[in-house]
Structure 1
């Protein structure tokens, strides 16, 4: 039999990444490359329509004129249903055979509280759940609640309520009895995704700054106690864990000195995640609408965990923001033998082009290992990447920031204090280390439109 051409074999492995791949000669262990989808921040705006008055295209623009609105949306609006449908249609077309989907929250749009109600929020979560089920009827889905998945937004309580109960009912086809019980009581749960791999879905809205309902609670809904108990049992059972949630841990990369959750909750979460880093194989968040990563380090700077914040499906931005994001979702690859993270394929829609052509041509924006020359997405690999961001002669940070905006506008540069905020947020999740990283610099953002 003739020799198989290398390009043919490589193409075959890309098309069928679950195929057995031989390890290096010194390691005879075989690994199986498996995958799952990560989607977040759908933010359906059911009012979106092409109107003669650009100020009335969508409620989510809050009166700002959406002068470039098209059938797939506008950068001043949340997602029309056509955009969300096109995203799931492309996902199912690319590959219907993945292990599972993680969905990190936020179905309702960014509109004033008076435009919504508890019943409307439940209906929006229901609509998005059914849309996912329609496209992936046999695929397990692991959702997390977002800050907009409540009414009024952000105000999630520490006890059972209509939203938690509705979510448990809507997600019953995906979750088991034990997971549904804690979901009904506190908006969080854990469940085995496959033998040896547990998904822990946290309700980080309980720790979110704007949540007045939990402002004075030291352990809202008892989630800390539950989390530590869950991670301890996972360790005893030799399970590995993927942490998923809406609002991420750590510092926001596009500002200075602000954590995504309240600072004391951030410190507590960082402490727990450090303690159980040998159990946790990855973190997956949403909320910021941007594409970013973090490396959880211990107190001596040793890399412990890889953390990924996925960009949003919604393209919305305010009129004062210098940039937005193109709609996006991603596929994550992991080694089924030990659940280590191997790669991310990021998909996006060029919204301007899609509206001009009236066709949603979703395509791959980048493959993370190829884009940055990485072997895998293990903490040591991400640490080396993050350290390269500091080098003035390296172009890795410019590429990272372009991906941060999901290729929104490659002319925009993030320099000086802007870059410092980004890099410090990637490398340092706790107050002490982050403060030392940014010490001595002003709080002025430095965006340069070339």
Structure 2
């Protein structure tokens, strides 16, 4: 009887522990780079930004041009790879996420760029705000019981007070104050260890004496110091990631919204100082699916950042991607990321079919064959991308396919060894100078390895030829 009681007690404790562990598991969405284009129409010209022309003569010319198109060339209502997002595409993403609310979704990270690439330059202030209001209302209906935490992108209206009032349904009063003055804020989650810090990466493009930018740095270090002192953990959330664009080849400064060298170094310094409490960094902007690893001054991996692909299929300079959505699985208390699921919409198939279908593209841990998401495992994964002399490890091929959300490149745009090294160095070296050093260093190593491999092959076939010749004689 005594043993039976001990057995029952042990069973109760095990079940209780597992129940407690299950209760701590939660999920959150990351959506980014929606780039809503209200002027898209299937009768527009994708060579002119997919915009509907307002005058009758232009519309007549476009209709005449469309008559000459084949059926395959016509643009569908869910968009085109040369165009920003249609409302139908955005609404389909919202409906898909709403169907999955049973996944115990805690919150949503909306990491910037709600409007099209043309909107902030061509539309009035009121029109821009009306479009953001439409997106806000849609997300509010999609997530009626969850909070959405927006980060400002460079293609969002620069009217922070208006946006603050619009997003007051999600932001506490204290958060509203810093958002309206600087575009950044914190979400303090009472009774939980994990806190969320949203930064304004638009300020990272300014010079080093800019008052607003330096005010954000002081604020950021102050709140991180407080969280570190309290033994809490932090997610850093923003639009533009630090470091280099992995799809941009060559040793020249990115012109598309990157951090200045000063702010890039400053960001790395902050991450190094608070890597013990930063348990995740989340960005968008690049429209691609990739990640970054931050090192300390001795070359040890200490932190990581995930960069999610966009909803818009358009990418201005480096080719298109399929629309993507991402759902993270995490510990609600500590913030530890267990895994994520990447969803996508195959735009080429969707416009050809009557039925729209968002699909699972992959789960991160199973796709890459890792058990845990941490700086060491991600660094080990990245190093496997370049272990072969030709630089094309099977894992890199998987990564490169995911990088464009399954939009396969044209044969002439295949990823050669320089492309592979560009991805590897962008992932592992966030500092600009160290990125350039990495490209030069790894190119030399690969060249040496390739020569050794070539010499070995020549030697091997020489021996085979000698044996065959001797045998024949």
Per-residue deviation, residues 131-167 of structure 1 (Å, max 9, x unmatched): 100111111111101001135xxxxxxxxxxx11011
Give the structure 2 partner of residue 141 of structure 1.
148
Deviation per CA, 1:387-444: give whole Å up to 9, x if none: 11111163111110110000011666322111111100100112343232012689xx
Task: Tell whether the 8 Å contact from 1:383 to 1:427 is kept in structure 2 after alignment.
Answer: yes
Which residue of 2 is the match for residue 251 of structure 1? 244
1:82 aligned onto 2:88:
yes
| 1:115 aligns to 2:122 (yes or no) | yes
Give the match for residue 404 of structure 2.
405
Which digits, 9 at most, give the CA deviation of each residue in 1:301-331, with x for residues without a partner? Answer: 211112011100000134xx56311000100
Pick the aligned partner of 1:197 from 190, 194, 198: 194
Summarize the Cα distance change of 1:135–1:30 in structure 2 as closer, same or farther, 3 Å threshold.
closer
How many Å apart are 1:33 and its aligned residue?
A: 2.4
Matching residue of 2:449: none
Tell me the distance in 2 between the aligned counterparts of 1:408 and 1:188: 34
Q: CA deviation at 1:339?
A: 1.7
1:235 alignment partner, SS class: helix
Matches within 5 A, 1:316-331: 316-318=314-316, 321=317, 323-331=319-327
The offset of 1:119, in angstroms, is 1.9
CA distance in 1, matches of 2:234, 2:133: 27
C-alpha contact (below 8 Å) 2:43/2:52 kept by paired residues: no
Distance 1:30 1:354, change over 3 A: closer
In structure 1, list runs of 5 or more residues that go unmatched: 1-18, 152-162, 443-450
Going by fraction, where is helix more abundant, 1 or 2? 2
Change (3 A) 1:272 1:60: farther
Distance in 2 (CA, whole Å) between partners of 1:233 and 1:215 is 25
SS in 2 for 1:314: coil
> What's the offset of the Cα at 1:120?
2.0
SS of the equivalent of 2:352 reads: helix
Could you list the runs of 5+ residues in structure 2 that have no partner in the other structure?
A: 1-14, 67-72, 444-473
TM-score (normalised: structure 2): 0.79
Q: CA deviation at 1:360?
A: 1.9
Written as runs of structure 1 = structure 2, the 5 A alignment for 1:217-228 is 217=210, 220=213, 222-228=215-221
Match of 2:286 among 284, 288, 295: 288
Alignment match, 2:98: 92
- Cα deviations by residue, 1:354-389 (Å, 9 ceiling, x for unpaired): 100033200110001000001121111111101111
Residues 182 and 408 of structure 1: CA distance in aligned 2, closer, same or farther (over 3 Å): same
Question: Is residue 32 of structure 2 the alignment partner of residue 36 of structure 1?
Answer: no
Asked if the contact 1:60–1:109 (Cα under 8 Å) also holds between the matched residues in 2, the reply is no
The alpha-carbon deviation at position 123 of structure 1 amounts to 1.7
- 1-structure distance, mates of 2:144, 2:120: 33
Residue 57 (structure 1) shift = 8.1
Gap change, CA 1:20 and 1:247, over 3 Å in 2: farther
> Equivalent residue for 1:233?
226
**Equivalent residues of 1:49, 1:57 under 8 A apart:** no
1:277 paired residue number:
275
The reply to whether residue 59 of structure 1 matches residue 32 of structure 2 is: no
Do structure 1's residue 353 and structure 2's residue 346 form an aligned pair?
Answer: no
Q: Could you say which residue in structure 2 is the equivalent of 1:418?
A: 419
Equivalent residue number for residue 428 of structure 2: 427
Equivalent position SS for 1:100: strand
> Computing the radius of gyration over CA atoms, which structure comes out larger, 1 or 2?
2
CA distance in 2, matches of 1:426, 1:21: 38
CA distance in 2, matches of 1:68, 1:199: 44
The answer to whether structure 1 residue 103 and structure 2 residue 110 are counterparts is yes
Greater shift after overlay, 40-49 or 426-435?
426-435
Say if 2:138 is the partner of 1:131.
Answer: yes
